[in-house]
């Protein structure tokens, strides 16, 4: 571990001072190297995770696209947030100095990779792409579910990057030791609530605490309105079953609760789903325990029993109501990581928004299926509640499948994430690994490149000219 951290520390000033376009070229080269190795990496991922080939081929492409998206973010330079306030002797509050602010990389980032996305949230995944684009070297704590894939991916991708920019460590002890190491300046994590919480506390308890960005578990409630159900019950049932069963439900965005106004025959859509292996024995144990707890809860009935066998799992669907959720919230209102979901009856016309606010903690997503042109005070109150509890509000869709695109938000109020102000997918993810600095009255020759008047990196510079303060407040008129 020590040599990986030393290499990351040595790479830190190199990456930080590398012009953003050069950083972008390295990210594109990394993406191309990853894609070129797909025929080697995908079979290795299949062997270690049990995930299906089409899913993994799609995921490796998504991972390369993500690296290229962040290459463009780096090249465009907007992420540096350059603001230049000209010196102003006539400033409304007395003379103003020359102020030049921008964002600088924090330094080496420790990334605890996810088990269920061996490419997209692992060694060359979103956290790595956004940290490298920000100018931070990355040390990945490999997920124990795909250790060989992690090492091989790092070998392939790091060859396209400056030395030390990307390294891998293994094992829980090494991960914790690295998190405590003063050379690590920030950490990101994708995994369970318990793991994320434990690591967040370690990050906060260091002599010099560091930012910790944990993306944790989520219930992802979805509401079906009476109008939507009347229009397309069968399509909703099919979509729900596909979203719960895909990748054996091992997705942080799996819809764990479906709220329906009347009896809803979803069981048929779940029938015939083939067994799918779970990622590793720890997930099998956790899922088996959670499934048993839920099935044994009074007030819960089984719509589709499903099974956990040596061949894999088939989905389990249960039915219950709002009162039972409230009474057994400790059991029913926690994530079951695997293909299990609950259909919950609500009474049309009653305030479902208030019930959701009371019941559901922070979630990555919250969705609603509505009828064509549907709008009402009831629906507006519900949508406001969905916004309050989640990071992504979806209409007439399913939360699994996270688009890799600038506006995406993947995060939310705790326990969806340890820090609700940011995201791990989408271009805003880069802000996690930057901190602001302002230069005051600094001579041009000593200024960092993005802050100079001749702008050698050619990055966007937002200027506040002298004299401006005399008209502040006029935009409100």
Find the binder of ligand NAP among 8, 252, 408, 429 (CB under 6 A): 252
**CB 463: neighbour CB atoms within 10 A?**
11
Which residue number, 391 or 450, has a Cβ lying nearer to ligand NAP?
391
Q: What is the C-alpha separation between 403 and 263, in angstroms, rounded?
A: 32
Work out whether 175 is an interface residue with ligand NAP (CB under 6 A): yes
Work out whether 278 is an interface residue with ligand NAP (CB under 6 A): no
Catalytic residue among 48, 59, 215, 319: 215
Stretch near ligand NAP under the rule CB under 6 A, chosen from 2-10, 141-149, 293-301, 460-468:
141-149
Which residue number, 135 or 412, has a Cβ lying nearer to ligand NAP?
412
For residue 415, cis peptide bond before it (omega within 30 degrees of 0): yes
Work out whether 152 is an interface residue with ligand NAP (CB under 6 A): no
Find the binder of ligand NAP among 216, 266, 368, 385 (CB under 6 A): 216
Look up tokens 């370690």; give the residue: 202
Q: What is the C-alpha separation between 148 and 261, in angstroms, rounded?
A: 48
Cβ neighbourhood burial of 26 (10 Å; 0-12, 13-18, 19+): buried
Q: What is the C-alpha separation between 390 and 221, in angstroms, rounded?
A: 9
The number of residues in the chain equals: 477
Token readout for 318 is 């249960």
Which residue number, 102 or 287, has a Cβ lying nearer to ligand NAP?
287
Find the binder of ligand NAP among 23, 143, 152, 291 (CB under 6 A): 143
Tell me the site size for ligand NAP, rule CB under 6 A.
29
Q: What is the DSSP letter of 275?
A: P
| Residue 4, φ and ψ in degrees, nearest 5 | -65, -40
Stretch near ligand NAP under the rule CB under 6 A, chosen from 140-148, 227-235, 311-319, 452-460:
140-148
| Residues whose CB is less than 8 angstroms from the CB of residue 148 and which lie 6 or more positions away in sequence, other chains included | 44, 48
Q: Minimum CB separation from ligand NAP for residue 252, in Å?
A: 3
Which residue number, 169 or 355, has a Cβ lying nearer to ligand NAP?
169
Question: How far, rounded to the nearest angstrom, does the alpha carbon of residue 81 sit from its chain's CA centroid?
Answer: 22
Which residue number, 117 or 240, has a Cβ lying nearer to ligand NAP?
117
Which residue number, 420 or 460, has a Cβ lying nearer to ligand NAP?
420
Stretch near ligand NAP under the rule CB under 6 A, chosen from 27-35, 41-49, 55-63, 195-203:
195-203
Which residue number, 67 or 199, has a Cβ lying nearer to ligand NAP?
199
| Residues whose CB is less than 8 angstroms from the CB of residue 247 and which lie 6 or more positions away in sequence, other chains included | 51, 52, 55, 116, 276
Q: Minimum CB separation from ligand NAP for residue 172, in Å?
A: 3
Stretch near ligand NAP under the rule CB under 6 A, chosen from 112-120, 156-164, 255-263, 367-375:
112-120
Q: What is the C-alpha separation between 84 and 81, in angstroms, rounded?
A: 10
Work out whether 188 is an interface residue with ligand NAP (CB under 6 A): no
Stretch near ligand NAP under the rule CB under 6 A, chosen from 29-37, 114-122, 380-388, 444-452:
114-122
Q: What is the C-alpha separation between 63 and 235, in angstroms, rounded?
A: 30
Work out whether 121 is an interface residue with ligand NAP (CB under 6 A): yes
Work out whether 116 is an interface residue with ligand NAP (CB under 6 A): yes
Stretch near ligand NAP under the rule CB under 6 A, chosen from 29-37, 211-219, 223-231, 431-439:
211-219
Look up tokens 């090492």; give the residue: 151
Contact criterion met (CB below 8 Å) for 144 and 280: yes
Work out whether 51 is an interface residue with ligand NAP (CB under 6 A): no
Which residue number, 7 or 216, has a Cβ lying nearer to ligand NAP?
216
Q: Minimum CB separation from ligand NAP for residue 147, in Å?
A: 10
Look up tokens 């293994």; give the residue: 170
Question: What residues numbered 414-453 form the site for ligand NAP, per CB under 6 A?
Answer: 424
Contact criterion met (CB below 8 Å) for 378 and 346: no
Question: What residues numbered 327-386 form the site for ligand NAP, per CB under 6 A?
Answer: 335, 337, 364
Contact criterion met (CB below 8 Å) for 303 and 266: yes
Q: What is the C-alpha separation between 453 and 450, in angstroms, rounded?
A: 9
Considering just the CA atoms, what is the radius of gyration of the chain in Å?
Answer: 24
Q: Is 296 a catalytic residue?
A: no
Token readout for 262 is 């009347």
Q: Is 335 a catalytic residue?
A: no
Work out whether 195 is an interface residue with ligand NAP (CB under 6 A): yes
Work out whether 284 is an interface residue with ligand NAP (CB under 6 A): no
Catalytic residue among 252, 263, 268, 271: 252
Q: What is the C-alpha separation between 5 and 137, in angstroms, rounded?
A: 10
Token readout for 114 is 């996810």
| Residues whose CB is less than 8 angstroms from the CB of residue 470 and which lie 6 or more positions away in sequence, other chains included | 90, 92
Catalytic site positions? 215, 252
List of residues contacting ligand NAP (CB under 6 A): 112, 114-116, 121, 141, 143-144, 171-172, 175-176, 190-192, 195, 198-199, 215-217, 252, 282-283, 335, 337, 364, 410, 424
């Amino acid at each position: 571990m020590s040599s990986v951290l030393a290499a990351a520390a040595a790479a830190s000033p190199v990456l930080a001072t590398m012009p953003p376009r050069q950083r972008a070229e390295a990210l594109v080269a990394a993406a191309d190297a990853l894609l070129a190795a797909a025929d080697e990496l995908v079979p290795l991922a299949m062997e270690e995770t049990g995930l299906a080939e089409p899913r993994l081929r799609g995921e490796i492409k998504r991972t390369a696209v993500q690296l290229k998206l962040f290459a463009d973010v780096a090249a465009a330079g907007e992420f540096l947030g350059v603001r230049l306030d000209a010196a102003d002797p006539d400033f409304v509050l007395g003379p103003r100095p020359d102020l030049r602010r921008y964002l600088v990389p924090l330094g080496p980032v420790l990334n605890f990779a996810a088990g269920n996305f061996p490419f997209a949230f692992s060694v060359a995944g979103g956290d790595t792409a956004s940290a490298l684009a920000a100018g931070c070297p990355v040390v990945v704590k490999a997920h124990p579910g795909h250790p060989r894939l992690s090492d091989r991916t790092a070998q392939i991708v790091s060859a396209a990057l400056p030395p030390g920019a990307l390294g891998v460590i293994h094992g829980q002890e090494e991960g914790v030791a690295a998190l405590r190491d003063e050379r690590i300046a920030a950490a990101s994590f994708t995994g369970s609530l318990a793991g994320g919480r434990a690591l967040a506390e370690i990050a906060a308890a260091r002599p010099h605490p560091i930012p910790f960005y944990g993306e944790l578990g989520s219930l992802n409630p979805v509401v079906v309105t009476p109008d939507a159900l009347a229009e397309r019950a069968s399509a909703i049932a099919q979509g729900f079953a596909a979203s719960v069963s895909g990748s054996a439900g091992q997705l942080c965005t799996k819809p764990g609760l479906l709220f329906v106004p009347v009896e809803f025959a979803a069981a048929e859509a779940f029938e015939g789903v083939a067994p799918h292996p779970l990622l590793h024995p720890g997930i099998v144990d956790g899922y088996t325990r959670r499934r048993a707890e839920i099935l044994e809860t009074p007030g819960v009935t089984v719509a589709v029993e499903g099974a956990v066998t040596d061949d894999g799992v088939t989905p389990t669907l249960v039915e219950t109501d709002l009162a039972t959720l409230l009474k057994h919230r400790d059991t029913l209102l926690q994530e079951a990581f695997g293909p299990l979901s609950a259909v919950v009856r609500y009474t049309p016309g009653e305030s479902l928004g208030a019930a959701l606010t009371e019941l559901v903690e922070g979630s990555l997503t919250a969705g609603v299926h509505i009828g064509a042109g549907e709008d009402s005070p009831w629906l507006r109150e519900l949508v406001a509640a969905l916004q309050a509890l989640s990071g992504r509000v979806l209409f007439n869709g399913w939360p699994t499948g996270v688009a890799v695109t600038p506006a995406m938000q993947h995060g939310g109020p705790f326990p969806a994430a340890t820090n609700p102000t940011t995201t791990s997918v989408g271009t805003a993810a880069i802000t996690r690994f930057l901190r602001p600095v302002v230069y005051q009255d600094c001579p041009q020759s000593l200024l960092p490149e993005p802050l100079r008047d001749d702008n050698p990196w050619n990055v966007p510079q937002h200027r506040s000219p002298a004299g401006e303060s005399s008209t502040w407040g006029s935009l409100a008129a």
